[in-house]
Amino acid sequence: MSIGFAEAEEEIPGLRISALAVDLEDDTVVFEHRPELVLNTASVGKVFLLHRLLTEVDEGRRTLEETVTRRPVERIEESGLWHLLQADTLSLHDVAVLIGAVSDNAATNTLCRVIGLPVVQEHTRALGYRDSALDDIVRWPLPPGAPRTLSHGTAAELVRFVRRTALAEDLTRPSADLLQRWLGAGMDLSMVASVFNLDPLAHYAFDRDVWLWNKTGTLLSVRADVGLVMSPTRRIAYAVLINWPRGTDSRDRALALMREAGEALRGRLAAH
C-alpha cells in the first residue's frame, strides 16, 4: 500500500515527515519515509524517562513502591490527570502509570526531578540513541534559554526503541513487560492507531486479533505516534512523526496520513 507522505510534503510548504514500520518477525519494512529525519516529537520522549526508571529498578537502586511527593512548581495542567487529583504523594509505579496512560505532565516533572534529567539524557545516549531524546521538563511559558522542544527523535531510532522493548533487549523481561503495560494503558488512539477502532480505555489485550501499545506526542504543529501493533502471529514496530510550520494548520492532512499508515499496518497483519 502506498502512503502519500512524499506527495504531502510536496504539496504543503514546511510539512516534514519521518516514518518507519518494521515487521519484527521477518524484518520486512512495511513502510518507510525519511526515517533518519530529526523532528519534534512532543511527549514521545517521555518513554526514555520510563525506561531509565525501570533500569534503576533492574539494577536494584530503586523500587516502584518508593513514594514521591509532587512539588507545587511541578504541577502542570493540560496533559494528564495528577493536577486534578487531591493526592500529592504517589508511588513511583503510579507516577509511571500516569505518564504511560495520559502523558501526565506533572508526573513527568516529578519523576524527572527524582531521577534527574541529565541522567535520563546520558542513559538515552548510552543506549545508542543519538538523534532522539527527552530535552526538558514540561514548562509553560518557556523561559529564556530553555530547550524549544520537550523531545525530539527520528522514526528509525524510535522503531529501534520499540523493537528492543518488545524483545526485552535492554531491560529484564519483567521490566520490559511492565513498560509495555504502562504504554498499553495509553488513551490516545487518534493517530496511526485510529484505524483499528480499539477501545481507547481498555486495549491491552487482543480485540479482533489486534493488540496495541503506543506513545503519542501532540502540539499545535506536531503529531507523533510510536508503538507496537500485534496479531497472534505478527508484531510490527512503527513510528510516524509529522511536523508543520507554526501558524499553519495541517492537522487534518497529518491525521489522514497517519490513518493511511495504520491501514498499511492492518493490511500487513491481515495478510499473515
pTM score, two decimals?
A: 0.97
Neighbouring C-beta atoms of residue 63, cutoff 10 Å: 11
Provide the residue range defining the domain that includes 215. Answer: 5-270
- The DSSP annotation for the chain comes to ----HHHHHHHSTT-EEEEEEEETTT--EEEEE-TT--EE-GGGGHHHHHHHHHHHHHTTS--TT-EEE--GGG---SS-SGGG-S--EEEHHHHHHHHHHH--HHHHHHHHHHH-HHHHHHHHHHTT-SS-EE-----SSPPTTS-S-SEEE-HHHHHHHHHHHHTTSSS-HHHHHHHHHHHHT----SSGGGGG---TTS-SS-BTTBEEEEEEEEETTEEEEEEEEE-SS-EEEEEEEEE--TTS--HHHHHHHHHHHHHHHHHHHHT-
Neighbouring C-beta atoms of residue 7, cutoff 10 Å: 11
As for how many domains the chain has, the answer is 1
Phi first, then psi, for residue 212 (nearest 5°) are -140, 140
- The grid cell for 3 is 502512503
Residues 102 and 112: their CA atoms lie apart, in Å, by 16
| pLDDT value of residue 66 | 98
Per-residue pLDDT of the chain (272 residues; tens, 9 = 90+): 679 999 999 999 999 999 999 999 999 999 999 999 999 999 999 999 999 999 999 999 999 999 999 999 998 877 999 999 999 999 999 999 999 999 999 999 999 999 999 999 999 999 999 999 999 999 988 889 899 999 999 999 999 999 999 999 999 999 999 999 999 999 999 999 999 999 999 999 999 999 999 999 999 999 999 999 999 999 999 999 999 999 899 999 999 999 999 999 999 999 98
| pLDDT value of residue 1 | 64
Q: CATH number for the domain including 178?
A: 3.40.710.10
